[in-house]
């Protein structure tokens, strides 16, 4: 005991340990109070958990947006396929094709806006990842400092703990020193607990921050992949859209060329308004007379059981070419009026070179083949096929070398005539019409 009390080196060790404790006591409040705000002023862990919840909600919204973008891309792809198919079809309907292209253009523009928004979001998420990584790094550094401090204090406590409290009391030079030494021991225990609690909260905070960083990084990665896929898909749709527009331009140019030929030929005839009106009236009268004759012919064929009461098949195009006139109201002044239309076309005109084969649109019985007996000169050569007692297809302006005869059974696709210029026509083309229940209807409805 005497050696412990009076050995100068023991005294120095004890005092050195107390000095280290005093220094650590001063550092603890800095690391537990200054670097991290008290819980009462805002708990960083609770703030981080709230931030994590908000970030997860944002990630969930982002995933839904990605799913919707993929769905829109699928819709655009399907719509573009419909547009391409419509343009590739025989005798494409330019009006319908243009509507498809207009709709596709709208969808492509929407997809383009989506891509730009997606690219901007990638940048935003990259910034979020960078911020979260920096927060994680700061928290790791702070946690490392606090853990090192606690370790140092534990080592210092162990070293000073080897000197008993009794020795400290006996060797103290004054009661002031005794009170100071005892207070140091008490403060040391409380600050250690506070520092240990702070380290535990730091670990939890760091874990939350790391999870946020991982989630944000994965979202940024997924967005980057999706943005790349959206860009590639958008490039494909743009290429298809350009091709569709080019095809429409080709069809429009071909149609305009054929119409110019027909209009030039029509103008060469130098019809006066009165003459044109008379010619159209005669044509309508001849057409109606032929319709009445066809009714009688069908009735005769029906008695022999050759024509069914209903047609259960579907029709094909009789030929391909350039559609110069659709069914319905038209701007061509050489067509007669009907209903509310100043000029009305009761079939579809398909321009093609002279002699182009014309095929039956469906199975049926040829009820008429030859020149319309009711036409004034020049007479139009016509083939009419009855597919049922109420359903017929008409093929007009044929060459005179018609390969079928009245009463003959024909199958869909069988050649029934050739493109010509018989009758009142301004260029080689097929006028294809359909009569249903004694009225001309739009052939496109039956294809």
CATH of the domain at 6: 1.20.1260
Q: Is the pLDDT of residue 418 over 90?
A: yes
Residue written as tokens 């009661």? 175
Residues 392 and 430 in one domain: yes
The answer to whether 128 and 216 are in contact (CB under 8 A) is yes
Same domain as 243, residue 302: no
- Pick the range with the lowest mean pLDDT from 87-91, 268-272, 405-409, 428-432: 268-272
What range does the domain containing 342 cover?
272-446
Answer yes or no: is 24 within a domain: yes
pTM: 0.66
| Together in a domain, 329 and 217 | no
Worst-scoring range by mean pLDDT, 93-102, 354-363, 408-417? Answer: 93-102
Examine the domain organization and report whether 225 and 162 are in the same domain: yes
Residues 161, 234 within the same domain = yes
150 lies in the same domain as 72 = yes
User: Are residues 341 and 249 part of one domain?
Assistant: no
Does 263 reside within a domain?
Answer: no
Q: Looking at per-residue confidence, does 408 or 168 come out higher?
A: 408
Whether 108 and 211 map to the same domain: the answer is yes
Domain end marker among 208, 234, 258: 258
Q: 268-312: per-residue pLDDT in tens?
A: 677 777 777 777 788 888 888 888 999 888 888 887 777 888 888
Q: How many domains does the chain have?
A: 2
Q: Is residue 201 part of a domain?
A: yes
Identify the pLDDT of residue 21.
44
265 lies in some domain: no
Query: 338: which DSSP letter?
Result: B
pLDDT tens by residue, 191-239? 777 877 888 888 888 899 899 899 889 988 888 888 888 888 889 888 9
378 upstream amide cis, omega within 30 of 0:
yes
- The answer to the question of residue 266 being in a domain is no
CATH number of the domain bearing residue 426: 2.70.70.10
CB 59 within 8 A of CB 222: no
- Asked whether the beta carbons of 336 and 283 are under 8 A apart, the reply is yes
What is d(CA 296, CA 438) in angstroms, rounded to the nearest whole number? Answer: 12
Residue 194 lies in a domain: yes
Question: Looking at 54-58, 244-248, 300-304, which range is the least confident one?
Answer: 300-304
Assess contact for 366 and 407: CB atoms under 8 A. Answer: yes
Same-domain pairing of 170 and 298 = no
Where a domain ends, among 234, 258, 282? 258
Do 286 and 203 belong together in one domain?
no
Task: Note whether 371 and 411 are same-domain residues.
Answer: yes
pLDDT for res 187: 53
Instruction: Enter the DSSP assignment of 438.
Output: T
Interacting residues of 189 by C-beta distance below 8 A, sequence separation 6+: none
């Amino acid at each position: 005991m005497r050696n412990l009390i009076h050995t100068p080196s023991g005294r120095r060790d004890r005092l050195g340990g107390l000095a280290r404790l005093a220094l650590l006591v001063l550092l603890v409040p800095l690391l537990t109070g200054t670097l991290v705000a008290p819980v009462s002023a805002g708990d960083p862990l609770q703030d981080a958990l709230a931030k994590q919840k908000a970030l997860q909600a944002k990630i969930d919204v982002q995933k839904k947006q990605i799913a919707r973008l993929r769905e829109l891309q699928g819709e655009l792809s399907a719509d573009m396929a419909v547009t391409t198919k419509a343009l590739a079809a025989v005798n494409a309907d330019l009006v319908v094709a243009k509507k498809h292209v207009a709709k596709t253009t709208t969808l492509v523009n929407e997809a383009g806006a989506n891509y730009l928004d997606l690219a901007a979001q990638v940048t935003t998420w990259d910034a979020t990842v960078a911020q979260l990584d920096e927060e994680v790094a700061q928290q790791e550094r702070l946690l490392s400092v606090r853990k090192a401090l606690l370790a140092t204090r534990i080592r210092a406590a162990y070293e000073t703990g080897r000197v008993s409290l009794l020795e400290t009391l006996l060797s103290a030079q004054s009661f002031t020193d005794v009170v100071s030494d005892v207070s140091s021991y008490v403060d040391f225990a409380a600050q250690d607990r506070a520092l240990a609690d702070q380290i535990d909260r730091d670990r939890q905070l760091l874990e939350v921050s790391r999870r946020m960083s991982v989630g944000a990084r994965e979202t940024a990665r997924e967005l980057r992949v999706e943005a790349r896929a959206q860009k590639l898909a958008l490039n494909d749709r743009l290429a298809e859209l350009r091709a569709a527009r080019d095809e429409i331009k080709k069809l429009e140019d071909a149609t305009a060329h054929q119409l110019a030929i027909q209009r030039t030929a029509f103008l060469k005839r130098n019809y006066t308004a009165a003459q044109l009106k008379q010619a159209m009236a005669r044509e309508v009268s001849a057409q109606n007379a032929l319709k009445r004759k066809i009714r009688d012919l069908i009735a005769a064929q029906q008695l022999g059981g050759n024509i069914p009461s209903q047609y259960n098949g579907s029709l094909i195009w009789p030929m391909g070419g350039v559609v110069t006139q659709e069914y319905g109201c038209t701007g061509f002044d050489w067509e007669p009026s009907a209903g509310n239309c100043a000029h009305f076309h009761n079939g579809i005109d398909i321009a093609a070179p002279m002699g182009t084969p014309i095929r039956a649109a469906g199975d049926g019985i040829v009820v008429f083949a030859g020149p319309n007996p009711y036409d004034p000169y020049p007479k139009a050569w016509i083939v009419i096929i009855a597919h049922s007692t109420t359903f017929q297809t008409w093929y007009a302006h044929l060459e005179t070398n018609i390969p079928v005869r009245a009463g003959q059974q024909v199958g869909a696709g069988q050649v029934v005539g050739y493109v010509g210029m018989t009758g009142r026509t301004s260029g080689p083309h097929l006028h294809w019409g359909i009569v249903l229940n004694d009225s001309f209807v739009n052939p496109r409805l039956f294809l």
